[in-house]
Structure 1
């Protein structure tokens, strides 16, 4: 095997296994299915070692998805190239509706060799950790919104309509406190819905505070602060943009 040759390796990943396909570097070179391996790091390392024995430069790729970036980091750590590609930008042949792990791996290897895949930006471990924290806050915010919807739907079913200007104010809270029903079961439901809202609000406040505190030690903290200089952009908007997009280079007009 020529020491200067290349292999393009497509990986179709799932929770428990990885389907592996290999394309020779030549334009019309062979594309073949290598096999299925366990998703465990030890199995990945063994597969990489077997391919590396051929003396080729290895180019790995797999689709961005729920399995995250640990596979990328492992392959990079082993000294090889790896791309995480955008699933929505993978070229699809018209009428090609049959999807199997094997076919997808072979397709990835072929397209990677042809240069037709679009890589996504891979955050470092610290950036990903802050992203996880911000997304946890988003989940908490959704939880608060849903808890409020449950209470509003319950009250509406029983003709309890708040006549004030806006809900979830102190005035609204006092209105909720005086609501009662003849049947004890419905009073229990009311109390539980109100408690769920209070618990969700506490959780949201706690995570918001933790996001704010994380900015002081994060390398992208100054970027978050800079975005807040724009009108209407507060902390959560700025940090959400940065964790999802990263730092956006600004062009300077001559």
Structure 2
């Protein structure tokens, strides 16, 4: 459409204003209504990723599906062993000692032994698939146009390579958000609100937007329960980055670790504290992304 000189957007159906009293719906009325709303600027256009960005997102989601399959395979094996009274005496499952114990387990019947081996084989297969996809991601990200952003946000605590790839692949260029509060609302990390007049009533977070990126942020926020410090892994990821980005990352770590401790001391539930940290963490990720361009050069202000 755009190649023919026609202005075209993709509107989010959930954000299209609708009249509750209108009970007649057909194509003619819908097209007229969309034309009026578009002319008035009341339609919310969704972000359409580039083919390269969408390809990376597909690969990231493929890995997530493989991890889910691996987790389900492990649950099936544990349920099978528990049903037959086989309990691992160690402290932690899926370690080398646990796999050695699985190799020594003997079932009462031949069919059950075959079932056990098939369950173990399914786990090994899914683990190999996750490792294979992970290796592909680490290789492909080096050629990705958003690789500089992925590298820069790894200066933050709790943001490893895979976490950074998930966030950037799911959200695209973060410079498309004018301010961090827009990004927080886009991810559904802001509280819902039903206020009227002097009464202010806020509830749980909205959980709108991208659930993959929101889950990755919450997992990263959990690392801020420890005191702030630049660990060996963080230093390795950020040594080659500009001083400005490292300063933002350290400022984020000091602030978020202190906030985690302060909210926990007030008796706030851990889930609430972690969500609050995740909301501010994406703000610091946005700040770092503003200093990095997809082509890999810092902005003039940063230089």
TM-score interval w.r.t. the shorter chain?
A: 0.5 to 0.7
2:169 to 243, 248, 251: 243
The structure number with the bigger radius of gyration is 1
State the 1:112 CA deviation.
2.6
Q: What SS does the aligned partner of 1:212 have?
A: helix
Offset at residue 108 of structure 1 (A)? 3.5
Of 116, 120, 143 in structure 2, the residue corresponding to residue 194 of structure 1 is 120
Written as runs of structure 1 = structure 2, the 5 A alignment for 1:44-193 is 75-94=1-20, 107-193=33-119
Pair 1:232–1:98, CA change in 2 (3 A): farther
CA deviation map 1:34-74 (0-9, x unaligned): xxxxxxxxxxxxxxxxxxxxxxxxxxxxxxxxxxxxxxxxx
Shift of 1:178: 1.1
TM-score (norm 2): 0.54
- In structure 2, relative to structure 1, the CA distance for the partners of 1:161 and 1:123 (3 Å cut) is same
More strand by share: 1
Q: Shift of the alpha carbon at 1:225?
A: 0.6
1:229 aligned to 137, 145, 155, which one?
A: 155
Q: Does 109-118 or 151-160 show the bigger shift?
A: 109-118
Change over 3 Å in CA distance of 1:83–1:148 after alignment to 2 = same
Q: Which runs of 5+ in 1 are unaligned?
A: 1-74
SS at match of 1:121: coil
Partner in structure 2 of residue 70 of structure 1: none
Q: Alignment length, in residue pairs?
A: 179
Q: Which has the higher helix share?
A: 2
Deviations 1:100-119 (A, max 9, x none): 77765554444333322211
Tell me the TM-score normalized by structure 1.
Answer: 0.63
Match of 1:24 in 2: none
